[in-house]
Chains A and B, each alone.
Chain A
Amino acid sequence: GAVVSQHPSRVICKSGTSVKIECRSLDFQATTMFWYRQFPKQSLMLMATSNEGSKATYEQGVEKDKFLINHASLTLSTLTVTSAHPEDSSFYICSAMRGPQGYNEQFFGPGTRLTVL
């Protein structure tokens, strides 16, 4: 159990286009999902916390108008990178939280590698 999928796994796009990434918890319901970004040889950086049915909470320095997050159901959250630029090229990873408060196990999706030309 505790499988999280992400789609697509890899995206190459031109500068200025928007890219949508889906994150799904396949065998459990997740009221909370998280979006991270990781640059090569660096640690995971939390971008935002996504709660089902409410607005996402963004970390300091993350532009909410650029990184649109929608958590439409208990198994699906989406991240849209709007008007992507080369500096947005990175490894984007979502996670879904399973279990009652206080346990908070997070399971990660396989990630989406975004390359903006």
Chain B
Amino acid sequence: QKEVEQNSGPLSVPEGAIASLNCTYSDRVSQSFFWYRQYSGKSPELIMSIYSNGDKEDGRFTAQLNKASQYVSLLIRDSQPSDSATYLCAVVGRGGKLTFGTGTQLKVEL
């Protein structure tokens, strides 16, 4: 079992719709969870951090964490073509090292 799992996609949504990205992790002691956005040829950009169960909202983004189910998700409301990118789920492990999922490619279509 991979430590952090994501569906590779591509996930296609129409402009204005809600995009839902999911991630599961295997290490029960993980406490810090992140979503990064990576455009092709660019480095990852941190868009959301979440540390406790429940929802965390920031603009059009909502992160959801369920530690009992070892599940973290990212919702993007009112999706825009500029949201088209690869979204990386990351979980902090030992020594502060991030373990990344393989990423979900999101395509927002006009």
Q: Chain A contact residues: over half helix, strand or loop, or mixed?
A: strand
- Inter-chain contact A102/B43, CB cutoff 8 Å: no
Instruction: Give 15 A-B pairs besides A34-B97, A44-B100, A46-B98 with Cβ atoms closer than 8 angstroms.
Output: A34-B98, A43-B88, A43-B100, A43-B103, A49-B95, A49-B96, A102-B31, A103-B32, A104-B92, A104-B96, A104-B98, A105-B32, A108-B36, A108-B44, A110-B43
B46 within 8 A of A: yes
Are the C-beta atoms of A44 and B44 separated by less than 8 Å? Answer: yes
Residue of B nearest to A44 (CB): B100
Q: A44-B44, A49-B95, A110-B42 are in contact. Are A105 and B100 (CB under 8 A)?
A: no
Size of the chain A interface, CB-CB below 8 angstroms: 23
Contact with B along A77-115 (1 / 0, CB 8 A): 000000000000001010101000111111111110000
- Chain A: residues with CB nearer than 8 A to chain B? 2, 32, 34, 43-44, 46, 49, 57, 91, 93, 95, 97, 101-111
